Chains A and B, each alone.
Chain A
């Protein structure tokens, strides 16, 4: 097992393209996007309705080398200065180091 950094990035759907560009630029080799269903945040409770697509939430999970994670966090931090979102980072152990 090898140590890597996992980032969970939660953003509104309209920002997905921006985040994917940041990941690509930083050199992430792969990531997965999940759709949020419902939840609660600073604006109160939210729930997908199928009507307001831009406000739906997306969770992007990416596992990268720690150096790349720092680069991603720096760019995501700039984005979050203006737009809503959450990012968490955690040290994880992975098999097949060459995949990340």
Chain B
């Protein structure tokens, strides 16, 4: 890709319906418009996206068979997701006045991944004609939880897991059996078992409708992100800078690691996108249970209000450009 193609791909992302609907949601939220999606509709859309991503991934993995690349990317995904919180925690403690618990909880968000960023990244790569494998949905699932364990180790709570008043089983259930994870992993298994024949039956549901559902969900995400950003004026500028620079660094690290283990280009770009993304579903839920004293206003504003919009609008095409340089 030359400079012109890079610019064209960045412009293509900015003018894609998904990003434009997201920006529209952010604008409406910032302007305090009455536009809103009923929360049950947002929940349903979220489940649909998990189902479609998981099922398509499982069906594609079934058609391609077990690939060594999956094992390698899965392994480095687990490793990276576990390691990032330690690095992010050290950085956050250096650059900000965050207390230990809030810094650890924030770091966990950056070690884990964002399913919607993954979905938007996948759609963008498809639009750019960059192929990737279905097993990346399984890599996504693998990268969701190690960061939570890392954060618990950081605050010295790897054994008791929660405050004494809460049951440990609640955290374990929230981490491994939350609705999003069960739907994603379950749909992947269903797709893998039913294979191409299953895909033929569900094709209309999981493919042509996907873009529209993603746009509607991103519209809602824009509204939510704008609401979350209203807290940004209470947050140190250094933390806001962290939420922009750290994902870029993690994305580059992800692309380099994927290249080292011999991943294909498309899988490498998607791995970089995953590495750069920050969780705002699974990790916040786990942090509410395991670290109730951590300031949700900080970690949600950074992950959902700053990093998510940044990745969606600027990050995704940037990771493609960076990966193009690394693979060339």
Contacts and interface: CB of A to CB of B under 8 A. Distances in A.
Nearest to B116: A51
A28 interface: no
Contacts of B46: 50-51
Nearest to A76: B165
- Interface residue SS majority, chain A: mixed
A23 to B, nearest CB: 15
6 contacts: A48-B39, A50-B38, A50-B46, A51-B220, A54-B284, A82-B166
Interface in B46-76: 46
B166 A83 contact: yes
Interface string A12-48: 1011011000000000000000000000000111011
A55 interface: yes
A95 interface: no
Given A44-B297, A82-B292, A83-B292, A50 B42 contact: yes
Contact of A79 (B165, B284, B288): B165
B214 interface: no
B179 interface: yes
Interface residues of A, number: 23
A86 B179 CA distance: 27
Interface residues of B, number: 37
Contacts of A12: 288
Given A44-B231, A44-B297, A48-B39, A54 B288 contact: yes
Contacts of B223: 49
Of A15, A54, A83, most buried by chain B (CB within 10 Å of CB) is A54
A51 B221 contact: yes
B227 A47 contact: yes
A53 B163 contact: no
Given A55-B284, A83-B163, A83-B165, 14 more contacts: A14-B174, A14-B285, A17-B167, A44-B230, A44-B231, A49-B227, A50-B41, A52-B280, A52-B300, A54-B174, A54-B285, A55-B296, A82-B163, A82-B166
- Interface residue SS majority, chain B: helix
A51 B46 CA distance: 8
A1 interface: no
A14 B288 contact: yes
A81 interface: yes
A18 B165 contact: yes
Nearest to B289: A14
A14 B37 CA distance: 23
Nearest to A42: B297
Interface in B15-47: 37-43, 46
A52 B227 CA distance: 13
B284 A18 contact: no
A16 to B, nearest CB: 10
